[in-house]
């Protein structure tokens, strides 16, 4: 079973426009009654090179150094103590689901899926319950067996806790691909995607040991409010 683990670019185009010289009036012909010979218009001046803010806007993109990206990811993930927001999930079968996410460190989490989905995922600090409200089933796992550790640990150190496979950055995202060998069923790969400006987590993609991928995107995240503690209780049906 695959776990539910989880810009518009603004192009500034500027052109330097030079003044166009008006054609000069025709010169009088040497012979009276003969048509005047027109003078061709002056050529446009060459555009001036961009300066100031325009030059900054077209400055070539410089990728973030991998060690800097990892340090920023560790700092952000370690700084979060609470999180409330919306999520959209694309499963391995292409199905789309959405809902609300609640996090309270250490170890407490709730994925609350909107209808017509019938799942709930609840972590109470020790265990993770995958619940089906329709079938009235509940599967239990230890948090350390799931890919949720990076979101629920008080102190995150990706170099220590995982194997970093790749770090990429572009103007819209910084992606860190990690490998976790302690998940249930074998080794999982997790791609963490951050906003490059604020370096906040905006998406993750989990590839489970069987190769199935789950993509979760985050929206409207609030890290200032504390969720209701009752959200993290695992009760029997």
**How many CB atoms lie under 10 A from the CB of residue 54?**
14
**Residue 195 pLDDT > 50:** yes
Give 95-140 pLDDT, tens digit per residue.
999 999 999 999 999 999 999 999 999 999 999 999 999 999 999 9
**For residues 127 and 105, what is the distance between their CA atoms, to the nearest angstrom?**
14
Give 4-39 pLDDT, tens digit per residue.
443 222 222 223 333 333 343 443 333 333 344 444
Report which secondary-structure segment, H or E, holds 57.
Answer: helix 52-57
**How many CB atoms lie under 10 A from the CB of residue 125?**
14
Cα dihedral 215/2/103/154 (nearest 10): -100
- In contact, 178 and 70? CB cutoff 8 Å: no
**Residue 149 pLDDT > 90:** no
**Residue 145 pLDDT > 80:** yes
Q: What pLDDT, on a 0 to 100 scale, did the predictor assign at position 183?
A: 87
Q: What is the mean pLDDT of the chain?
A: 82
Per-residue confidence band for 156, with pLDDT thresholds at 50, 70 and 90: very high
pTM: 0.74
Tell me the β-bridge partners of 81: none
Report which secondary-structure segment, H or E, holds 158.
Answer: helix 158-161
Q: Nearest-5° angle of CA 156, CA 162, CA 167?
A: 90
Residue 142: HSE in the Cβ half-sphere, 13 Å Cα cutoff: 6
- In contact, 144 and 150? CB cutoff 8 Å: no
Contacting residues for 34 by C-beta, under 8 A, at least 6 apart: none
**Residue 81 pLDDT > 80:** yes
Phi and psi angles of residue 168, each rounded to the nearest 5 degrees, phi first = -130, 150
Q: What pLDDT, on a 0 to 100 scale, did the predictor assign at position 218?
A: 97
**For residues 79 and 75, what is the distance between their CA atoms, to the nearest angstrom?**
6
Of 133, 119, 159, the C-alpha closest to 1 is: 119
**How many CB atoms lie under 10 A from the CB of residue 208?**
22
Dmax over Cα atoms in the chain, in whole Å?
A: 110
**Residue 67 pLDDT > 90:** yes
**How many CB atoms lie under 10 A from the CB of residue 143?**
19
3-state DSSP assignment of residue 79: helix
Domains, the chain, in order of start with CATH, read 66-222 (2.50.20.10)
**Residue 80 pLDDT > 90:** yes
């Amino acid at each position: 079973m695959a776990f539910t683990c989880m810009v518009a670019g603004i192009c500034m185009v500027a052109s330097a426009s030079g003044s166009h010289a008006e054609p000069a009036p025709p010169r009088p012909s040497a012979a009276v009654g003969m048509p005047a010979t027109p003078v061709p218009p002056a050529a446009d001046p060459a555009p001036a090179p961009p300066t100031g803010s325009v030059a900054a806007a077209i400055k070539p993109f410089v990728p973030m150094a991998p060690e800097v990206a990892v340090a920023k990811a560790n700092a952000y993930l370690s700084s979060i103590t609470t999180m409330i927001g919306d999520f959209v999930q694309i499963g391995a079968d292409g199905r789309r689901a959405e809902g609300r996410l609640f996090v309270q460190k250490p170890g407490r989490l709730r994925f609350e899926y909107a209808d017509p989905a019938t799942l709930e995922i609840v972590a109470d600090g020790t265990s993770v319950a995958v619940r089906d409200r329709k079938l009235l089933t509940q599967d239990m796992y230890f948090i350390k067996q799931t890919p949720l550790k990076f979101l629920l640990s008080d102190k995150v150190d990706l170099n220590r806790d995982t194997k970093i496979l790749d770090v990429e950055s572009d103007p819209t995202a910084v992606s860190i691909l990690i490998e976790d060998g302690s998940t249930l069923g074998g080794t999982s790969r997790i791609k963490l995607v951050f906003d490059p400006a604020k370096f906040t987590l905006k998406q993750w993609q989990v590839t489970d040991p069987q190769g199935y991928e789950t993509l979760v995107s985050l929206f409207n995240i609030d890290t200032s409010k504390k969720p209701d503690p009752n959200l993290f209780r695992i009760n029997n049906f």
